[in-house]
Each structure stands twice: as structure tokens, then as C-alpha cells.
Amino acid sequence: MNVPGMVHSLPNRDAALKALYGDLAARNMFPFWAQSSDTTNDEIKQLMGTKRAIPYVWRCQEDIEPILHRAVELVTMEDSERRSVILVNPGLAPKRASVSTMYTAYRLNDANEIMPPHKHSPSAVRFGLKGKGNFTGVDGEDIVFGPGDMVLTPNDTWHNHGTVGDAQALNLSVLDFPLVETLNAVHFEHNYAEEENGVMVQKRQQTARFTSDYSQRIYGYGGLMPRFASSEKRGAGYSSPMFVYRWEMMRELLDRHKDWDGDPHDALTVEYIDPTSGQPVFKTITFFAQMLRPGERTLPVRQTASLLVAPFEGRGYSIVDGQRLDWKEFDTLAIPGGTWFEHVNGSDKEPVFLFVASDEPTLKKLDLYKKWGRTKQDAVVRLG
């Protein structure tokens, strides 16, 4: 009979512990109990030692675009309905994730090619980079968009992508796919059909049910909501009903406030919101445009939210956990949650505009969102 407090005097204890750990592993279990620092099994370190995203920059001009141009020549729409490259964080590979909850993908559409409709549970946006003919049809609204425009393809809403016109077009997507995958809630559907004469007929493109400028005409006036608009639920009803946000309006708003003090940690930042509720466009992820005036440098910030930052105009660098990461337009920068970071505009003459995606809404709903900043005196203060 073992006497309490005498466990360390058991004969062959080391061999017995080794056998215990072996039995746990063989049965797909993990031991979680405190150990002294001189043992070979540091359970706390192992439990916290899972794969984590690292700060990283993907280069658009040098790496992404050349690969996409090769893919246009080699992969046709008969081969696949998609021609995108997903940015995989080296710290998370082989998981398809740019940070733990989101990924960015770049898509180059050839001239005059339209993919058939599909829908899925992950929410996504498309952000135009090059070309005026980017196309996304969303729930019966045919949207043609250009550089800086953001288009929603919400959870469980039929949509299709492509290019209108005789020129190629480049855009990037941000999806909450890794988050939805972690929750085991991913589903896709590809068999789009519409009712004709009482019969469901398969279609390769959605029939337009709204004018192509519907989102902007109905929802694009902040503080003003037309009550004569259709009361029909848009998509699955899980997102903003405004499906396109035009860069022209965002740029005008930022330029109008370029002489304001702004925020020392966030510079001039504007969030894309659901105009009917004032909430983020999706329940899981949100998006911002951030302006750094010439020579501007933000004070360091640390938050539990993860960010994907896509410089849209200008060039500069970020310091993330002490590492300098240079970037220019159309690159993507991963900033994992929990890292200190600051942004620097590398020009003393031209502004920088950043397109930013964040999983902040998910963390706020779970009461896990926190944000800290450093002052000019290097004191740490709570910001959120």
C-alpha cells in the first residue's frame, strides 16, 4: 500500500513514469500536471508548444505574380474553377493559413473568363489590385470592381468570380477558412440552380436580380437608409447587405482628414461596417483602411487579434517583435496575435495606404480581445 507523500520513494520510479507516459501517448492522451524543471517531461512547455504563426511578408511583384502568370498559361477553367494561390504561414505549414484564423489568396483572372457559381460557409472578401474588370456576382448582383474596391462574398451566399473585358485582372481574397475549419464547420456547394417554369435548372451563372450598382445606391450613404429599398434578405442574412465598398469613397474620406492628428498607435484608420447596424461586415472578421501620412510612424501596439496587412499604395516597413519587415504595394504582411508591431511610412512625400483584415470580432464575442500600446516614454498602457 502506497503512503501519501512517499511517492518519490517508489522503486523503479523513472521506469514506471516512462511506461506511464508511453501508455498515455499510445491511447492518444496528453498528461497535464506540474513537473519540476529538471524532469524530461515539461508538460506546460509541450502544451504551449503547438505550431504558431510567425511574422512574415509575401512579395507580390517578385513571387506571387510570376507564379500566377505561369498558372494562367497552364491551368484553364476546364481544369479548375479556381486559379488562386493561398499564402501559407511558415509557422503553420502545411495548414492552409496565413495567420491562425485567416488566409489571404491571390487570384489572377484571364481576360473574359467567368467561373460558375458556388457558395461556402467561410466568409470572404475580394480586394481589387490591378485591372478595372474584376468581376464577382453575389446573390444576383453583378459587381465589376477595380483597384481598392472591396467585395463581400458572405457565408452561405451564392457567388462567382471572373473578369469582364479583354484584360487580365488581379485581386486578393481574405477568408476566415482556418477558423471555420478549426470549428469543423466548412461546407461547399457547387450545383447552382434556378427555377424555370416550376423546374430547377442548373446554371453556370446567376441571373441578375439587382442592378449592378444596387449596393452603392441603397447603402452607400452613411447615416441615410432608404426605406423604399427591397426588404428581401440579401444572401443568407449573416453579413452586411452592402456587397461592394468603393475605394473612391474610402480614399476621399481619408484624404479629407489627412491633417487631423489621428491616433498615435493606429494613425488614420477607417473600418468597413454594415451600414444597417454599424457592426463589422462579418461576424468573424473585420476590415480596415489605414493611412500613414508622409514620414509617419505609429507607436508600438500588441493585441490578441491577428492581422493580415496588404499595402495598397506606397512602401515602408513594419517592426514586428523586433524584426524589420519591408513591404511595398500589393504585398501581404502577417502579424500574429500577441506580437508587438509598428508601421513606418518610408516616404517623406507620399502617403501609404494599408488594407487590413482582423479576427477582432471573433475575439470580442468570446471576451478574449485585448490591446496594449507603448507610449513615447515606453510605458505600456491598455488600449482595449
37 pLDDT tier (thresholds 50, 70, 90): low
4 pLDDT tier (thresholds 50, 70, 90): low
Overall average pLDDT of the 335-345 stretch = 98
DSSP for 222-267 reads TT---TTS--SPPTTSSS-S--EE-HHHHHHHHHHTTTS--BTTTB
**CA dist 6 → 11, 13, 41, 63, 284 (Å):** 11, 12, 21, 62, 52
List the beta bridge partners of residue 381. 373
Report residue 205 as a C-alpha cell: 451563372
β-strand 169-175 against 188-189: which pairing, if any?
A: unpaired
**Residue 18 is assigned to a structural domain of this protein:** no
Give me the CATH number covering residue 171: 2.60.120.10
**Residue 15 is assigned to a structural domain of this protein:** no
Instruction: Give pLDDT, residue 17.
Output: 79
**Residue 9 is assigned to a structural domain of this protein:** no
The whole domain housing 371 covers 56-189+198-376
Interatomic CA distance for residues 229 and 218, integer angstroms: 7
Q: Is 381 helix (H, G, I), strand (E, B) or coil?
A: strand
Evaluate if residue 76 carries a pLDDT over 80.
no
Instruction: Give pLDDT, residue 102.
Output: 98
Report residue 60 as a C-alpha cell: 507580390
Q: Which of 38-42, 241-245, 284-288, 321-325 has the lowest mean pLDDT?
A: 38-42
42 pLDDT tier (thresholds 50, 70, 90): low
Instruction: Give pLDDT, residue 73.
Output: 85
Instruction: Give pLDDT, residue 103.
Output: 96
pTM: 0.90
Evaluate if residue 8 carries a pLDDT over 80.
no
Q: Which residues contact 146 (CB under 8 A, 6 or more apart)?
A: 128, 131, 132, 133, 134, 247
Evaluate if residue 333 carries a pLDDT over 90.
yes
pLDDT digits (tens, 9 = 90+) for 218-274: 999 988 989 888 777 899 999 999 999 999 999 999 999 999 999 999 999 999 999
Domain count, the chain: 1
CA angle 342, 344, 347 (to 5 degrees): 175
pLDDT digits (tens, 9 = 90+) for 134-170: 999 999 999 999 999 999 999 999 999 999 999 999 9
**Residue 10 is assigned to a structural domain of this protein:** no
Interatomic CA distance for residues 38 and 48, integer angstroms: 18
Instruction: Give pLDDT, residue 16.
Output: 83
Sheet holding 371-374, edge to edge: 323-328, 315-320, 340-345, 301-303, 371-374, 380-382
Overall average pLDDT of the 75-81 stretch = 72
75 pLDDT tier (thresholds 50, 70, 90): confident
Instruction: Give pLDDT, residue 222.
Output: 87
Q: Which of 37-46, 58-67, 81-90, 371-380 has the lowest mean pLDDT?
A: 37-46
Overall average pLDDT of the 174-194 stretch = 95
**Residue 33 is assigned to a structural domain of this protein:** no
User: Higher pLDDT residue, 264 or 83?
Assistant: 264
25 pLDDT tier (thresholds 50, 70, 90): confident
371 pLDDT tier (thresholds 50, 70, 90): very high
Backbone angles phi, psi at 119, to 5 degrees: -145, 160
- The mean predicted confidence, pLDDT, of the chain is 91
Instruction: Give pLDDT, residue 44.
Output: 60
**Number of Cβ within a 10 Å radius of residue 380:** 12
Nearest to 285 by CA among 175, 157, 187: 175
**Number of Cβ within a 10 Å radius of residue 199:** 8
Percentage of the chain surpassing pLDDT 90? 76
Evaluate if residue 41 carries a pLDDT over 80.
no
Evaluate if residue 91 carries a pLDDT over 80.
yes
Q: Is 7 helix (H, G, I), strand (E, B) or coil?
A: helix
47 pLDDT tier (thresholds 50, 70, 90): low
